[in-house]
Amino acid sequence: MASGILHFGQELSERFLFLKNAGFSIHRCATFLEFQDALKYEADRDAVSFSDLEEEALPLALRAARSFSSAPSILFRTRSLLSFSADGSQQVEMPLHAETDPAEADFDLIVPPSASPRAWVGSVAALIARGRALIRRSESIRERAKRLCAEAKAEGERFRTERERARSARTFTAVAAPGWTTLGDKLLTCANCGVEFVFSAGEQFFFEQRHFLHDPKHCRKCRAELRSGAAPARRKTTLACAACGASTVVPFKPNQGRPVLCRPCLRKQDTKMGAPS
């Protein structure tokens, strides 16, 4: 898999030649705005590189790279940084990863100008390999975190369901006060929407304590709509007219044995009943 490097600043002809010969692809951005757009909108690169030729714009470009990309950063130095040897007898060039400047500590790899191409190209390849491994690991951690969140959410739903089921199935047995009886859940039909709902043992016990004589006629949803003042949607029933046999729709559930008439037949019946004998 070819490795891509996003470079900010002037072209480093010799460095780029070694990288291209090693199989790397390089996308160079001459301006900061072009570099920022490439970080935001183009495909992620395996590494982001800079040079010390853009000394003034370098901190701003590095902050943008840290903000919009997780790729490792490389600094190509064009000027030699020399340091005295341990005995002070001669000056030597600082090696790779040298932290002579606090600002350079922000880079993952620093390439001196006189470093051997074989050495620094190999260091770039190793850095990109470590970066890819870290990205794969972070993606795996994110996927695992998503699975754990989904499992926790499902476990919470199961817990709430079991709690409601246990609350609904709880029975109240007479232990002290006379007249208490063992209660069980009832399955009732809503008079408004026709949906079956559970009249739990706890609710029955509450009704007994308040001396309510009748079971509830509406499900919880319809009761909430009635309490809020909204007109709940009434159930409609389609059946045949008892007089003419035509199909008609009524906004209620008819009782057994009671004939239901369509509007025309109902008007005729009302007219007959209102006519003088």
Per-domain residue ranges of the chain: 3-143, 171-234, 236-277
Using DSSP bridges, classify how beta strands 73-76 and 47-51 pair: parallel, antiparallel or unpaired: parallel
pLDDT of residue 260: 80
Mean pLDDT comparison of 61-70, 110-119, 131-140, 174-183, highest-scoring range: 61-70
Q: 18: buried, middle or exposed (CB in 10 Å: 19+, 13-18, 0-12)?
A: middle
For a pLDDT cut of 90, what percent of the chain falls above it? Answer: 14
Q: Measure Cα distances from 76 to 54, 59, 66, 171 in Å.
A: 11, 14, 17, 78
244 pLDDT above the threshold of 50: yes
pLDDT of residue 49: 92
Confidence class of residue 102 from pLDDT cuts 50, 70 and 90? very low
pLDDT of residue 169: 59
DSSP designation for 102:
G
According to DSSP, the residues that pair with 35 across neighbouring strands are none
3-143 folds as Rossmann fold (3.40.50)
Cα separation, 32 vs 49, whole angstroms:
13
Tabulate helix, strand, coil % of the chain (nearest 5): 45, 15, 40
Angle at 185 (CA atoms; ends 180, 191), nearest 5 degrees: 115
